[in-house]
């Protein structure tokens, strides 16, 4: 199979609750973004996989404009270090991360904050946070 394309996951949900449904999730293999999620009853799923024709299904997820703009692009990540705030208040560290991000000019190169890192205990004088962006395959 060539590089790019899609990843498809089929899962069975709700068996323990007595209301079984099948979900088909489609993800762009380059960007890792979820493109669609479709849910079907067992009868419709059986018809679909046996080639019985068009079957009823329910959309649970449709792509946003952000997803549509980044399908087929490669997701890059970068870990960045900033000074650690000596406080137990996570909001203060979040503010420090956002301030470092703005002053560092990361946004002009398309970087976005993925995780501000405040949910983890980090040793040392520096605090690490994670950025991501999407680039065309030839630019990666």
Q: CA-to-CA distance for 118 and 62, rounded, in angstroms?
A: 30
**Among candidate residues 5, 3, 26, 23, the one with its CA nearest the CA of residue 13:** 23
Strand partners, 77: 132
Measured CA distances, 27 to 18, 41, 66, 71, 133 (Å): 28, 21, 14, 9, 17
pLDDT tens for 65-96 read 999 999 999 999 999 999 888 877 888 889 99
Give the largest CA-CA distance in the chain: 63
pLDDT of residue 111: 96
pLDDT tens for 13-72 read 876 666 789 999 999 999 999 999 999 999 899 998 898 878 888 988 878 899 999 999
- Who's near 80: CB < 8 A, 6+ residues apart? 100, 101, 104, 106, 128, 129, 130, 131
pLDDT tens for 85-136 read 887 788 888 999 999 999 999 999 999 999 988 878 788 889 999 999 999 9
pLDDT of residue 17: 65
The predicted model scores a pTM of 0.73
**Tokens representing residue 130 in the block:** 């994670």
**Tokens representing residue 73 in the block:** 């692009």
Q: CA-to-CA distance for 72 and 32, rounded, in angstroms?
A: 9
pLDDT of residue 117: 85
pLDDT of residue 104: 92
């Amino acid at each position: 199979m060539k590089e790019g394309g899609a990843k498809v996951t089929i899962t069975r949900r709700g068996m323990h609750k007595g209301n079984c449904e099948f979900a088909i999730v489609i993800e762009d293999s380059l960007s890792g973004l979820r493109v669609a999620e479709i849910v079907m009853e067992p009868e419709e799923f059986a018809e679909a996989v046996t080639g019985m024709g068009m079957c009823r299904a329910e959309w649970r997820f449709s792509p946003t404009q952000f997803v549509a703009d980044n399908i087929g692009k490669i997701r890059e990540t970068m870990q960045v270090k900033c000074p650690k705030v000596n406080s137990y208040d996570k909001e203060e560290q979040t503010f420090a991360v956002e301030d470092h991000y703005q002053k560092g000019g990361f946004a002009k190169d398309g970087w976005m904050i993925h995780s501000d890192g405040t949910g983890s205990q980090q040793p040392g004088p520096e605090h690490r946070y994670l950025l991501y962006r999407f680039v065309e395959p030839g630019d990666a």
